[in-house]
Structure 1
Amino acid sequence: MIRYVLMLALLLPLSAQAGPWPREVGQTFVSLSGERNRAGASYASAYGEYGLTPRSTLGVELGRSAGETTAILWWQRALDDGQGVHRIALQSGVGAVRRGDDLLPLAQGALSWGRGFDRWGGGWMTAQVLARMTGGAPDPRSPDMPSLAASFLTAKRVVKADLTLGLRPRDGLMVINSLWLEDRQDEGFAARLAPSLVFDAPGPVQIELGVVQPLSGGAEQAVRLGTWLEF
């Protein structure tokens, strides 16, 4: 399974969460990742950020599962003045979902908070609440699709809350712990814990290796592998 996820992450486009810190003007961040659960269902995605102005960031997300392809373009604006320890940002985005012969519009909005700290070698905390709606979307489940595969598909309405604690215990290593809370129209509430390690690789590349452990809901345990690139 590890070998399959590695190939998926390198060959297919990742899933990342935008933090409230604006990307520096002219700077780009790109990440590729793949996820595969114990039931054999998989998901791959590509994520990018570009610094437009000192307070605004443009982002794009592409996702692919066995049942659909998604594309989202979003814009994020810092609401704070850049002073003090707290960072707050507001995000809005539009996109589309390709599911079979259907092309469905998608819209989302998010509010993010974050702050850095110097203890334990330095790190950061973030919280994000995101609401997403897919227009005209039927229930993504079908009689011939296993429920654990359908969990990777986009629900008509979903609200997510992501809480993250990141630590830098030493140079070249980050330890990231995320709690994902999700309320989907088709499945109800679910909670997952996603710890990961991020290692420096030669050049500007970083490698992320992690797992996704369900705490509630019907999802299966999954493995994640990704690459980060900043330039």
Structure 2
Amino acid sequence: MRYIVPTVFFALCACAAQAGPWPREKGVVFTAFGGNFLLSEGAQLPVNYDPTFYGEYGLNGTVTFGVDYHTADLGRIQAAVFFASFPLGEPVGPDVFSAQIGLGARMDPLNPVEHLLRGGVSWGRGLDSGWMAIDASATYGDIDQLWRPKADFTWGHHLNDRWSVMAQLQTGQGYDDDTYAKVNPAVIFHINDRYSVSIGAVHALTGDRGSALKLDLWTTATIPRFHATE
């Protein structure tokens, strides 16, 4: 395979919105879901309970299909985007690049359903015992007719076969035209080859500067390939 990256990178890079530039292997399904709990007093924006679901499917080892669902604005806004990601050229040394295009919708109780178009690029580098990645995207809504940018900066380190640590800076523009920044350090326990649990904290650097604990469950599975028999 041309894009040789340890399999655990795929799981660890799959955060709320994007999953770094490494393609999912053919037939492999990855899911991540979770949210925040034990919010600090007064925490509302940009940190709230924020339940999320993220899924990927490796089509052929190069193209990856996925879905990204999340809530915002105290849970009043729901958004889902179906996307495809693909490599940008060959890896340059340890550096890997990819692009993403997606279509989706945003729903809230006060407005009609808004259709979304999302485009993004990612960069990643595998380290001796970890990885770094930058995921940048912009989402366009056909009602407000604005491009809303988002960028995540991720660093991870593998302590051993069972434990890893990760830190992420999440930045972007919210639906109320506010800008936000959050930090999310986490510890990951790899139960086995299929399941991992991430527990950490999230703290807002903007808005009300609220905090919470964060819990996510990640799963990886391979869809069996059925062959016709004569």
Q: TM-score of the superposition, structure 2-length normalised? A: 0.78
Does the Cα contact within 8 Å between 1:190 and 1:218 map onto a contact in 2? Answer: no
- Following superposition of structure 1 onto structure 2, how do residues 125-204 of structure 1 map, counting pairs within 5 Å? 125-137=132-144, 157-184=147-174, 186-201=176-191, 204=194
Q: List alignment gaps of at least 5 residues for structure 2.
A: 1-14, 222-230
Q: Greater helix percent: which structure?
A: 1
The offset of 1:221, in angstroms, is 1.3
Provide runs of 4+ in structure 1 moved above 4 Å. Answer: none
Helix, strand or coil at the partner of 1:24? coil
Q: Distance in 1 between matches of 2:192 and 2:175?
A: 43
- Residue pair 2:193, 2:220 contacting (<8 A) in 1 also: no
Question: Which of 96, 99, 122 is the aligned partner of 1:112?
Answer: 122
- Counterpart position of 1:90: 99
2:192 and 2:130 map into 1 onto residues whose CA distance is 22
Amino acid at match of 2:21: P
Q: Check 1:17–1:187 CA distance in 2 against 1; reply closer, same or farther (3 A cut).
A: same
Distance 1:117 1:15 in 2: 22
Match in the other structure for 1:205: 195
Question: Structure 1, unaligned stretches of length 5 or more?
Answer: 1-13, 139-155
CA deviation string 1:106-135 (max 9, x = no partner): 1111110001011xxx00000111111222
Quick one: which of 80, 85, 96 aligns to 1:76? 85
Structure-2 change in CA distance of 1:68 and 1:182 (3 Å):
closer
Question: Which structure is richer in relative contact order (CA contacts within 8 A, separation 6 or more)?
Answer: 2
Aligned residues: 198
Maintained 8 Å contact 1:15/1:44: no
Whole-angstrom distance in 2 between the partners of 1:202 and 1:50: 20
Identical counterparts, % of pairs: 30
Q: 1:181 to 1:68 in 2, by over 3 A?
A: closer
